Amino acid sequence: MAQVIGISCFPRKEHENKVLFFFYRYTLWVPLYPVGFVCEGVIALRDIPYFEETGRFSYPLPNSWNLSFHFPTVLRLYLLLFFFPLLYTMMNHMYRQRCKKLGITPHAERRRRRAEEAEAWKED
């Protein structure tokens, strides 16, 4: 959904509301990315019993390579170890892109500036 909004802004570069489209392009991802990640996680979680029952995409021993692969375990590891770090990384990246394109000062930089101003004010 976020890509549909982003791509729909390209033909509208000559449109009179290009500022509005530009703002939407770099703002609507805020609710859409977490919803997409949660849907992906729910789908992966609900698919684990199916892959355990059918054995699909799993390769048990013995085989010619002497290597086993259990796909439901990979899904569990993904959900346990990688799901939230990837969500944080993507949200952080998209936030920095939004600040850069819209000319907004990021929160961390604003906090640092306020702390420096407070220190300078105390010294006076």
Of 82, 56, 85, give the one whose Cα is nearest residue 71. 56
Catalytic residue, from 24, 33, 78, 95: name it. Answer: 33
Q: Catalytic residue, from 14, 16, 40, 117: name it.
A: 40
Smallest CA-to-CA distance from 25 within 41, 5, 42, 44 is with 5
Respond yes or no: is residue 33 known to be catalytic.
yes
Q: Report the catalytic residues.
A: 33, 40
